[in-house]
Amino acid sequence: MPYLVLVATRYRVFPVHVASVTSLTPHFVRVTLTGDALADFSSVGLDQRIKIVLPLPGIGFSELPEDDDWYGAWRALPDEARNPLRTYTVRSFRPDARELDIDFVAHGDAGPASRWVSACRVGDELRIVGPMVPSSPAELPTGAAEFAPGHANRILLAGDETAAPAICAILEALDVTTVGHVFIEVPTDADRLPVRAPAGVEVRWIARNGATHGVRMTDQVHVWASTVAAAPGSGAAPACGDAVELADVDVDEQVLWDVPAPVESRPVYAWIAGEAGCVKELRRHLVRGVGMDRKQVAFMGYWRHGKAEH
Ligand SMILES: Cc1cc2nc3c(=O)[nH]c(=O)nc-3n(C[C@H](O)[C@H](O)[C@H](O)COP(=O)(O)OP(=O)(O)OC[C@H]3O[C@@H](n4cnc5c(N)ncnc54)[C@H](O)[C@@H]3O)c2cc1C
């Protein structure tokens, strides 16, 4: 009997340029990218992540390899010729128009991505790295999205402003019957974004307004954990929570990426993303303190105060 050998999705460098720049709020800028190459881009929606490749002063993208082994060739380049890569979420993709939106947090001039977005203009060139449309049924149409609640009865989505684009994209894709809570911490009251969500999902935008990053969102998740996660039938086992083995992650040296494999059935599913110190604290509290099973929670602590993305 013939059988199919599945192969990984292919990734490539897509040359694109800026079609529009929209200031959404004081700290969010939407950049719409376009280009003929996007005819081959494969979108899986939800929290799909891509890499953006930033131009180098005086060089642009002239040294950037664009063939199949672009990554190996990119790594072999001397430092001064290696374009910076950063990770962003596909906020939305319109294949017919070949347009892709990214919502950038404008956080000043400290990093190449934030610097680029504060100065970018219509027509500016960029490169993105993402999955290609499968060319055969043997290719898995996967593309770096992590949200996988299975048949959970309740969900939690929590994150800071860098996670807001992913949370909004997930909310807009949820089944109308979904029930749950969403906590999104943003710099100020004026940074709340309009988003569509199922009636049973309570979306709370939490303005930091000068408070320490992550504290207000962490407080909300603690309250959620003491009610929803600790309730009978949630799948958490508070009595043995302290005994749960949990290797700590040194978030100053490593990315905290603890994401369960998709499973069909679990009563509560949580997805938590943002600044690594804050996500680390929440992981410790939910797994060790409340006794949540790590198969119920995706923890993604990917940026760190004072550290550029590796
Ligand atoms: C899966 C995934 C999806 C992401 N999606 C998005 C997205 O859709 N939109 C988005 O804006 N970001 C997103 N991020 C976060 C983004 O990749 C980081 O914020 C990245 O560090 C920005 O790069 P940079 O070049 O501006 O700064 P870097 O060069 O990486 O860092 C320079 C300095 O800026 C600080 N810094 C970095 N980000 C911030 C911030 N947000 N606020 C304050 N200080 C900061 C660093 O601590 C460092 O001190 C995502 C990250 C991951 C892993």
The reply to whether 54 and 193 lie within a common domain is: no
Looking at the structure, tell me whether residues 168 and 110 fall in a common domain: no
**What is the extent of the structural domain holding 86?**
11-131
The answer as to whether 73 is a domain residue is yes
Same domain, 23 and 82: yes
199 Cα–ligand 1 center, Å? 31
Specify the CATH number for the domain of residue 100.
Answer: 2.40.30.10
pLDDT of amino acid 2: 59
> What distance in angstroms lies between residue 272's CA and the mean position of ligand 1's atoms?
16
User: Does any ligand 1 atom lie closer than 6 A to the CB of residue 88?
Assistant: yes
Verify that 181 and 103 share a domain, yes or no: no
Domain count, the chain: 2
49 lines ligand 1 (CB under 6 A): yes
- Ligand 1 nearest-atom number relative to CA 146: 1
Whether 2 maps to a domain, the answer reads no
> pLDDT digits over 9-28, tens only?
789 999 999 999 999 999 99
Q: Which residues of the chain have pLDDT under 70?
A: 1-7, 140-143, 238-245
Residue nearest to atom 38 of ligand 1 (CA): 303
Could you give the C-alpha distances from 30 to 47, 56, 192, 262, in angstroms and in order? Answer: 16, 22, 14, 31
Cβ count near 29 (within 10 Å): 19
The Cα–Cα gap between 310 and 254 comes to: 9
Q: Which atom of ligand 1 is nearest to the CA of 144?
A: 1
Residue at 141 is within a domain: no
Domain boundary among 131, 162, 188: 131
What distance in Å separates the CA atoms of residue 10 and residue 131, rounded to the nearest whole number?
6
Same domain, 159 and 39: no
Please tell me the predicted confidence (pLDDT) of residue 1: 52
Residue 95 located in a structural domain: yes
Question: What CA–CA distance (Å, rounded) separates 146 from 126?
Answer: 25
Residue 130 backbone dihedrals phi, psi, to 5 degrees? -160, 180
Instruction: State whether 116 and 177 are in the same domain.
Output: no
Whether the CB-CB separation of 104 and 116 falls below 8 Å is answered with no
